[in-house]
Amino acid sequence: MARQYFGTDGVRGRVGEHPMTVDFALKLASAAARVLAPEGGRVLIGKDTRLSGYLFEAALEAGFVAAGVDAMLIGPLLTPGIAYMTRRLGCRFGVVISASHNPYDDNGIKFFDGSGGKLSDELEESIEAQLERGAVTKPSESLGRATRVDRERQYYQQFCAGTLPQGVDLKGMKIVLDCANGAAYKVGPRLLADLGAEVIPVGCSPNGRNINDGCGSQHPQLLQLTVPGVRADLGIALDGDGDRLVMVDHLGRVVDGDQLLYILARARQRENNLPGPVVGTVMSNFGLEQALKAQGIDFRRAPVGDRYVLGLLRETGGVLGGETSGHLLCLDQTTTGDALISALQVLAVMRRSRQKLAELAAGMQRYPQVLLNVKVARRFDPATEPSIQDSVRSIESRLAGRGRVVLRASGTEPVIRVMVEGHDEKATRAYATELAEVVKAAVA
């Protein structure tokens, strides 16, 4: 059965518009309870700092309690923190109310199973199938209870700190931390300070409407100005729900997810602690592939989306993967993408190697990458159009192994994404424009 509401990361949309309404959240909670906890049990509910989080929290709480499931409310906490605490508290499943890096007037609802992992497609389909029954209220003697467990956040902070290698701390480091006015605004600064760092917080004053607004991993410009301005060692930027990481070196230059993945892979290779391949996506920079290849590190590409990166890691026995956006997976440390834990792994490499972030990132050359979104009259598979494939082959021939071409149809709108990477920026842009024109002509 095709999923109608669940996308690559839960249910998401504009607040007040279907499906992000109170009545749908109530039905979704009831359906999820019937599928994930048919005999009762506990569910952990967390959220980011969006104003609409209050209404969805209340709706989900009511739906779960009515269905006979005990609801534990932990308040604002990073998405990976909910995954960890779901497992620690012995819950049947966990729920996060967040739209990640989106603006505040969007929101979303995503689930974790009892082990802290994302739900399978089959489970999501089963939940959708139950939606038609609406919200169900059990007899009074079978209702669940609701409790607040805000103080339990300290266990997640301790878990993060425990991922640093023994004997490594952050004493003497000056770090600017941008929490995007999101879910990490409490835990993030406390974690780094307790580990000995001097922390300069920005984006740590949420008001319900400023999440991801000109700050965080999506907008690192403020961090780029602040780090050299205060002579910090580096900057760390998270997104609103704390699963994406971008860093800034002491010179104010952005170090993206591909570069961070390279740093972690090289360090683990030196320690003989890199089982399986490193996994990126079809959009990962060609420079990452080339740099890892030069070091004899196997690199694989998955479709866009961290769930597909996770799937390929599990299939191949790998532990390290991620996306350019900074959604990194360190499966030997935790079950899902966690920006704080990923940042700590990079900081540990800096401490052990006694190198600055800029020096560690220098081993990977980022290839110029041009991405063009071509609106088309109808959705189609570009691989089936002969004129497009002829153009792709022509451009690949001219790139001569020093770049690549990726064509991808959007799954949500009539758009073909044209991406070209190459050694020369001017030529790369010309190739991308050329291919975009061929795509337009193919469906004119």
302 alpha carbon, distance to own chain's centre:
15
The catalytic residues are 100
Mean pLDDT of the region 184-191: 98
Work out the mean pLDDT of the chain and round it to a whole number: 95
pLDDT band at 269 (very low <50, low <70, confident <90, very high): very high
Residues 61-120 have pLDDT tens digits of: 999 999 999 999 999 999 999 999 999 999 999 999 999 999 999 999 999 999 999 899
Residue type at 257 in one-letter notation: G
pLDDT of residue 439: 94
9 alpha carbon, distance to own chain's centre:
9
Dihedral (Cα; 259, 230, 349, 240), 10-degree rounding: -60
Distances (CA, A) of 58 to 72, 161, 174, 216: 12, 32, 40, 27
What string of DSSP letters covers 209-231? S-TTSS-STT-THHHHHHHHHTT
pLDDT of residue 243: 95
Contacts of 229 (CB under 8 A, 6+ apart): none
Residues 271-314 have pLDDT tens digits of: 999 999 999 999 999 999 999 999 999 999 999 888 899 999 99
Q: How far apart are CA 327 and CA 418, in angstroms?
A: 22
Give start and end residues of each alpha helix (H) in 245-317. Answer: 257-270, 286-294, 306-316
| CB-CB contact of 437 with 430 (8 Å) | no
Residue 93: strand pairing partners: 43, 113
pLDDT of residue 9: 84
Sign of CA dihedral 225, 226, 229, 234: negative
Mean pLDDT of the region 2-25: 93
Dihedral (Cα; 160, 163, 168, 174), 10-degree rounding: -40
pLDDT of residue 412: 63
Give start and end residues of each alpha helix (H) in 326-376. Answer: 339-353, 357-361
pLDDT, greater one: 195 or 117:
195
pLDDT of residue 103: 95
pLDDT of residue 381: 86
Q: How far apart are CA 109 and CA 327, in angstroms?
A: 18
pLDDT at 32 over 80: yes
Residues 312-338 have pLDDT tens digits of: 999 999 999 999 999 999 999 998 999
pLDDT of residue 16: 97
pLDDT at 444 over 70: no
- Give me the percent of the chain exceeding a pLDDT of 90: 91
pLDDT of residue 299: 98
What string of DSSP letters covers 14-43? ETTSTTSSHHHHHHHHHHHHHHH-TT--EE
User: Which has the closest alpha carbon to 160: 49, 81, 47, 247?
Assistant: 81
Residues 337-362 have pLDDT tens digits of: 999 999 999 999 999 999 999 999 99
Domains of the chain in sequence order: 11-152 (3.40.120.10), 159-254 (3.40.120.10), 256-338 (3.40.120.10), 369-442 (3.30.310.50)
